[in-house]
């Protein structure tokens, strides 16, 4: 079984981290990288040249009738890879990071689905996304990932002994500009006597505060690389919420939560933080059922929700998260889903 590594322009972002993590898992499982060694050259031209020659070499070396694991989307060379792989009668496993149609990045649903139909087995984020594919007649083996992993050789422990003390630190990690998360600046106008926010990421705009900084519950801690931030974020909960409104998740980013697994969720769990998530998000049942956090319909009720949370309830969630950390940091979910996909394809090849 094989994969083709590539150059990733930036490992700073969650997107780059998720893809390199999957390569780590494949390598651990014994998949063979046919391309050049993974790299992070920031220069687009040099990176594209390296990718082209690395992928070409890999396709020359790719055996006939093999299983090839790919990731989607790849901005370049996917057609090239699949063309040669199909000529060589290989079976294709594809791990989906984003569905551009569901994310609002394209209106051409059928064009995107046609691309994905060229895979023989597809690993999707969750059961909601799986059902969406089935509803649109994708007759391939479809496996639910359940949760993205967040690979780390060391276990972050800075939040191990953070306990509920009447005032909760809510962590938000991610981009903070534009329509995706403009709601963050509204927290200062809500009832917020029992919580405050620690913000990590790019795009914080000081002039968007609704109150003077001295009166604000927002503390901005800057942006950190994706492999460092897990050891720096501190608080009691991690927040998964997108869109312009505190009342519900709206807009194309908010609606996407109905289908996707936000990578920041895995970051929070790795960092030892229970999660506060929109209760209509596709990932909400997984979080709640595994006692890894709480679902909430409206951030304007957050003060009341936290007031009703007992210390015992919080400590139980925290214990569940710490027990769950090992799965997230080791690649358990990606490995489990990939083994299922490979077993299904091997069965069809016998």
Number of Cβ atoms within 10 Å of the Cβ of 228: 10
Residues forming a β-bridge with 218: 197
Q: How far apart are CA 202 and CA 14, in angstroms?
A: 12
pLDDT value for 177: 75
pTM attached to this predicted model? 0.95
Q: Which domains does the chain have, with CATH numbers?
A: 2-146+331-349 (3.40.50.2000), 168-329 (3.40.50.2000)
Tell me if 86 sits within 8 A of 113, measured CB to CB. Answer: no
Q: How far is CA 192 from CA 117, 167, 211, 315, in A?
A: 48, 9, 13, 22
pLDDT at 243: 93
DSSP, residue by residue, 266-290? HHHHHTT--EEEETTSTTHHHHHHT
pLDDT score recorded for residue 270: 98
Output the tens digit of pLDDT for each of the chain's 350 residues.
999 999 887 655 566 899 999 999 999 999 999 999 998 888 888 988 999 999 999 999 999 999 999 999 976 899 999 999 999 999 999 999 999 999 988 889 999 999 999 999 999 999 999 999 999 999 999 999 999 999 999 999 999 988 777 799 999 999 887 778 999 999 999 999 999 999 999 999 999 999 999 999 999 999 998 889 999 999 999 999 999 999 999 999 999 999 999 999 999 999 999 999 999 999 999 999 999 999 999 999 999 999 999 999 999 999 999 999 999 999 999 999 999 999 999 887 76
How confident is the model at residue 59, as a pLDDT?
Answer: 97
């Amino acid at each position: 079984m094989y994969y083709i590594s590539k150059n990733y322009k930036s490992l700073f972002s969650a997107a780059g981290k998720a893809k390199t993590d999957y390569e780590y898992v494949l390598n651990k499982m014994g998949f063979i990288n046919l391309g050049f060694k993974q790299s992070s050259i920031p220069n687009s031209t040099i990176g594209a040249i390296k990718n082209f020659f690395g992928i070409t070499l890999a396709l020359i070396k790719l055996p006939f009738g093999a299983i090839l694991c790919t990731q989607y989307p790849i901005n370049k060379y996917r057609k090239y890879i699949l063309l040669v792989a199909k000529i060589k009668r290989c079976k294709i496993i594809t791990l989906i990071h984003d569905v551009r149609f569901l994310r609002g990045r394209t209106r051409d649903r059928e064009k995107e689905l046609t691309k994905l139909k060229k895979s023989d087995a597809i690993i999707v984020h969750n059961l909601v996304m799986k059902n969406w594919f089935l509803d649109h007649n994708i007759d391939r083996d479809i496996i639910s990932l359940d949760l993205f992993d967040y690979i780390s050789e060391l276990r972050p422990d800075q939040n191990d002994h953070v306990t509920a003390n009447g005032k909760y630190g809510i962590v938000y990690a991610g981009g903070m500009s534009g329509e995706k998360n403009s709601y963050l600046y509204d927290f200062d106008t809500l009832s917020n006597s029992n919580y405050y926010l620690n913000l990590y990421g790019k795009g914080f705009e000081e002039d968007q505060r609704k109150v003077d900084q001295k009166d604000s519950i927002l503390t901005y801690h800057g942006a950190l690389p994706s492999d460092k931030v897990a050891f720096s974020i501190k608080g009691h909960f991690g927040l998964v919420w997108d869109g312009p409104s505190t009342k519900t998740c709206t807009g194309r980013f908010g609606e996407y939560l109905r289908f996707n697994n936000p990578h920041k969720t895995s970051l929070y769990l790795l960092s030892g933080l229970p999660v506060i998530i929109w209760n209509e998000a596709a990932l909400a049942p997984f979080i709640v059922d595994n006692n890894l956090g709480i679902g909430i319909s409206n951030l304007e009720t957050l003060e009341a929700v936290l007031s009703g949370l007992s210390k015992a309830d919080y400590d139980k969630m925290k214990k569940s998260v710490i027990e769950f950390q090992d799965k997230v940091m080791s690649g358990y979910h990606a490995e489990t889903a990939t083994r299922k996909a490979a077993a299904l394809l091997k069965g069809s090849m016998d």
